[in-house]
Amino acid sequence: MNVLFPRDLKGFFKALAEPGARVLAGGTDLLVRLRANPQATANAPEGAGSATLVSLDRLAALRGIVEDSKAETRDAGPGNLHRTLRIGAATTHAELLAHPLVRARLPVLAQALAELGSPPIRNMATLGGNICTASPAGDSLPPLLVLGAEVELASAAGVRRMALAEFILGPGRTAFMPGEVLLAVHVPLPAVGCVQHFEKVGRRSALAVAVVSLAALVRLDRRGRIAEARLAWGSVAPTVWRCPEAEAALIGRTLSLTALSAAAAIVRARVQPIDDIRASAAYRREVAGNLLLRLAVL
């Protein structure tokens, strides 16, 4: 296996144009997949052993977190005044967790990343890798969806942006055009005071793939009534699942157990999870509703 370390985007796109070349970020998904299934590199010209991996490691353009107060996102986010964080796609989960604005203003994302893998995984793995893997169990996806994140995609031909919700098409499927890379993720900062919560249920307490997860972002009005609710579940559908009916049922209510129980009943009636080796569909349906009840005790 050949690994290239370009130092600028021009060199990167040139390397990526080689037949069978693949983007390598932290490698915690890709290398595991290649090891389990060398045929995953089948489009490499001389077979599995000759795959070319193009590393993001030395590309400064894909790293770092900056606040952009003039940024325009299509989804301004609840109560957002167009303050956005631009997160380089090759920023690691550990770097994100160490960032004061992420911890203070995006707790729903920080809670998800704090439970992703283990410390060594979080030191290597990147936000971009989690997004591009497009797993229904990808822990960053439900929080990024409720936050209204956008992705910035680049190729040798230029840059374009789209909503994350439009970028993820299915398990392992994204809206990448050939030769494109994920450059950055733009995350609107919600208003101070929004309720943010992430919870994941797995088969054990550490290093667990989500059996069901829920990210919630709720904006309350001055009287403490729900003005906007965004709810996104992981691991219950081919992509992150939203339930507009449950969100609508919460508007005008308080974050009480009564209101949340009614919304949870709607979730259980609408969600259509599958049975797999980690859990039954019936268990997932029950837990998908139950996770909502947690918002009453925050």
Ligand X SMILES: Cc1cc2nc3c(=O)[nH]c(=O)nc-3n(C[C@H](O)[C@H](O)[C@H](O)COP(=O)(O)OP(=O)(O)OC[C@H]3O[C@@H](n4cnc5c(N)ncnc54)[C@H](O)[C@@H]3O)c2cc1C
Q: Which is nearer to ligand X, 185 or 260 (CB)?
A: 185
Q: What angle is formed at CA 45 by the lines to CA 39 and CA 50, rounded to 5 degrees?
A: 65
- Minimum CB separation from ligand X for residue 137, in Å? 6
Helix (H) or strand (E) holding 12: helix 9-16
Two structure tokens written together for 237: 């559908």
The residue assigned the tokens 């989500």 is 210
Residue 34 Cβ vs ligand X, minimum distance, rounded to whole Å: 9
Residue nearest to ligand X (CB): 129
Nearest distance, CB of residue 39 and ligand X, angstroms: 15
Query: Which residues in this chain contact ligand X in the complex, by CB under 6 A?
Result: 22-30, 32, 56, 89, 116-117, 121, 124-126, 128-130, 132-133, 138-139, 181-182, 207, 209
Q: Specify the residue, 13 or 194, whose C-beta has the smaller distance to ligand X.
A: 13
Least distance (Å) between residue 239 CB and ligand X: 14
Q: Which long-range contacts (CB under 8 A, 24 or more apart) does 153-162 make?
A: 153/177, 153/180, 153/181, 153/182, 153/183, 154/9, 154/180, 154/181, 154/183, 155/13, 155/179, 155/180, 155/181, 156/13, 156/14, 156/17, 159/183, 161/186
Name the residue nearer to ligand X (CB basis): 79 or 238: 238
| Closer of 119 and 193 to ligand X (Cβ) | 119
Closest CA to 145 of 233, 270, 40: 233
Q: Helices 281-293 and 257-270 sit at what angle, rounded to 10 degrees?
A: 160
Nearest approach in angstroms of CB 77 to ligand X is 22
Burial class (CB in 10 A: 0-12, 13-18, 19+), 211: buried
β pairing state of 168-170 and 212-220: unpaired
Closest approach, Cβ 253 to ligand X, in A, equals 32
